[in-house]
Structure 1
Amino acid sequence: MVELDFQKIRQKIENILNERLSPWATPHSAARRERPEELLAGDYRLPFSIDTDRILHSLAYTRYIDKTQVFSLSDNIHITRRVIHVQLVSKIARTIGRYLGLNEDLIEAISLGHDIGHPPFGHEGERFLDRLARMHNLPSFQHNIQGVRALRHLERGGQGWNLTLQVYDGILCHDGESDTYSLVPEKEKDFSRLDEEIIRRAQDPSYPLRPMTLEGCVVRLADTISYIGRDIEDAILVGLIRREDIPPRCQKVLGRTNGSIVFRLVTDLIAHSWGKGSVSFSPEVAEALKELKAFNLEHIYLNEAIKKDMDKIAWLFERLFERCLEDLHQGRREAPIFRDFLIHMPESYLQETPPPQIVIDFIAGMTDEYFVSLARELFFPGRLRAFL
């Protein structure tokens, strides 16, 4: 058997990759971890590639499979789930990054981890948890902050994954819902700055965040590219809108199918970011994209047809929160929050974390189906389907 010198191979691959990187890309040598680590003997993986592997093997990533994107409580198996969304973001962002000479491993890690903190029932669930957090004197609940918290402090039985600063920063700053069409990275950051930005954003959800890397900027715009047309296709699939409803200018500039919308947005972003230390769309495409986002907001995201059961879901969030909080205070070790969550966490987490935050961490990690089944178990044995 031929013995390979994996360290030499690793260095050779890193040198080859560095030759392809643009001056504005993030080399693997810039990777920074909170806790120093020694490479395993023979480990040929580069730092951001290691982060991708850790995210893929996290329990939170596994739960993407049953977290919905926009259309919750739908039995249609073709509706986009969050696991598909993050894969689409990864593919789109890596395509952009390849043509701009960026670090594709860093892009992949940020992309796959960017929605880890999403609770069940998408942005509606996020809104419900935020309200409950504020009612119990906790900072604002935001899925990007929770994503960093989950990967940094909750995974691996409370040890966290010790990912790189650049990946945590990209997850915190991804914010694909913002009306941003041009981004310049804010490079000078460290872990203290990461903590500071988390605190400021939690205190003020409008506090502006910019990724520290151009790769993070690409992921942020790719997030929008990946969902804007896909949500339209899902809405057409369930009969919420018709293709003809897409605004005429958007059809002319971007097309009227998800495929054409993605292709034209990606092409435009590459063309107008080539050879620059920033990423941006052309003015014409940015305006069309802004109009399309406004269309989606009015006709899809705020459409009462997809919110008809959300008042019931909001009620269940409140009931479940109060029940779990009571179980914590009473020390009911047989309760779901102990049985399914705290059993995996160190005693120090229970002692150092405020009870309302423990409940937030528990609910935020739930899938849609687990949330429903737990509500059935606790409140409506055998009758929840009729309730919903």
Structure 2
Amino acid sequence: MHPGPVGEDFHARRRAWEEANLSPLAARSWPARRVHEEDDCGLRSPLQRDRDRIVHSKAFRRLKHKTQVFVAPEGDHYRTRLTHTLEVTQISRTVARALALNEDLTEAIGLGHDLGHPPFGHIGEDVLDRCLQDRFGRAFRHFEHSLRVVDVLERDGRGLNLTADVRDGIRCHSGRSPTPATLEGRIVRLVDRIAYINHDIDDAVRAGVLDVRRLPQDAIAVLGETGSVRIDRLVHDLVEHSSRAGDVVQGDEAGEAMAALRAFMFDEVYLGEVARREHERIDLVLRTLFHHYVGLPDGPPDGGGAPDADLAQRVTDYLAGMTDRYCIRTFEQLAVPASLPL
């Protein structure tokens, strides 16, 4: 539909607002740099369109049934990959607004950053990576696969055709990837860690895996006794130091305290006794499915989502796209004998 007076005036008003209100260091919403050029929308900036495409994607909807830390937890209050994504996005927007950076870019990156996570969280990522290394000499990194999801797998192989800054932020949100090109991307990269460390502590305590009294007390003395207090202090520290530095940085004291909490969580929760027991089960499930689909004459069903890719990529696409419960159900269909009629 041809835009009316409001739509015709939108771009000019929003561009003027960005020039008047955003920091000179902020990324701008226009012009849209996409692989395939498109006409702009009458009522949304290019970055708002990217946000909407991500939210309406199949991969985004599947996040509600993907593990954050605890596999198939008993209870309704544990985080999933979807709630983690929303928490990261909300905190990141707060930081971007305080620093007069582009909230729309920050939001789009936050919502899309974990679309490529396989089932069973980081344990699933590790198992899939080892399967690919052993069989094909390839690596699997969820942040790289997140970019493949938005570039190739969504919309029946056409991809979402996101803007360059959003794609960069998704690809570079992990500490194992290059530094994001924009400050907005760097916000999501750091806030991702702030969010998961603190909400994983909360879930681990709720699950009875962690006694809050065992948390490193030096770090707790700096950051606070509760997750909400710690996040608040880390966010305030982040915006104050970033504003002075003209970059996205933490203060030394807060950064060291957060690093201590992260190291503790890896030792006690992510790689602890409960996680090791789950790792063995998840390894059995994913490895069984991996070798099953590699061994099929035509590979995984429906071409694995990208029929023009080679076998290794098609199996990767298919397994990484599974939710936890679909993965378990598929494994049961393969490995558990069907009941015989009486």
Shared fold by TM > 0.5?
yes
Deviations 1:152-193 (A, max 9, x none): 011110110100111111111111xx4xxxxxxxxxxxxxxx
Partner of 2:13: 12
Asked if 1:378 corresponds to 2:341, the answer is no
Alignment TM-score, normalising by the size of structure 2: 0.94
Asked whether 1:37 is paired with 2:33, we answer no
| Structure 1 residue 312: Cα displacement | 2.2
Aligned partners of 1:47 and 1:215: how far apart in 2? 15
Query: Structure 1 pair 260/276, CA: closer, same or farther in 2 (3 Å)?
Result: same
SS of residue in 1 equivalent to 2:322: coil
Aligned to 1:157: 156
Cα distance per residue 1:220-265 (max 9 Å; x no partner) = 1110111111111111101111121111111111012110110000
Which 10-residue stretch deviates more, 115-124 or 372-381? 372-381
Q: Deviations over 1:318-364 (max 9, x none)?
A: 2111211223x2x38xxxx32xx438x5xxx42x3111210110000
Q: Tell me the secondary structure at the aligned position of residue 35 of structure 2.
A: coil
What is the root-mean-square deviation in Å for CA atoms of aligned residues?
Answer: 1.8
String of CA shifts for 1:52-104, please: whole Å, max 9, x gaps. 00000110000000001111132222111010001001010000000100000
Aligned pairs for 1:337-376 within 5 A: 337-338=300-301, 341-342=302-303, 345=305, 349-350=306-307, 352-376=308-332
Aligned-partner residue type, residue 47 of structure 1: P
Query: In 1, Cα distance between the equivalents of 2:109 and 2:276?
Result: 30
1:270 is aligned to 2:231: no
* 2:23 equivalent to 1:22: yes
Alpha-carbon deviations, 1:252-307, whole Å to 9, x = none?
11012110110000000011111543111111111111111111111111111233
Q: Tell me the equivalent position of 2:269.
A: 300
SS in 2 for 1:279: coil
TM superposition shift of 1:381 = 4.4
Q: Pick the aligned partner of 1:230 from 199, 205, 212.
A: 199
1:1-388 matched pairs, under 5 angstroms: 4-39=5-40, 43-175=42-174, 178=175, 209-327=178-296, 329=297, 331=298, 337-338=300-301, 341-342=302-303, 345=305, 349-350=306-307, 352-381=308-337
Q: Distance in 2 between matches of 1:36 and 1:276?
A: 35
2: CA distance, partners of 1:20 / 1:382: 64
Distance of 1:147 and 1:140 partners within structure 2: 14
Give the whole-Å Cα distance in 2 for the aligned partners of 1:168 and 1:284.
32
**Counterpart secondary structure, 1:27:** coil
Q: Is the 8 A contact 2:106 2:185 kept in 1?
A: yes
Cα shift readout 1:17-65 (whole Å, capped 9, x = no counterpart): 331110110011254111111235xx21101111000000110000000
The more displaced of 23-32 and 152-161 is 23-32
- Give the C-alpha shift of residue 138 in structure 1: 4.6
Shift of 1:15: 1.6
Q: Gaps (5+ residues) in structure 2?
A: none
TM-score using structure 1 length? 0.83
* Native 8 Å contact 2:173 2:188 kept in 1: yes
Segment of structure 1 superposing worse, 68-77 or 246-255: 68-77
List gaps (5 residues or longer) in structure 1: 179-205, 384-388
Q: Which moved more, 1:165-174 or 1:23-32?
A: 23-32
4+ long deviations beyond 4 Å: none
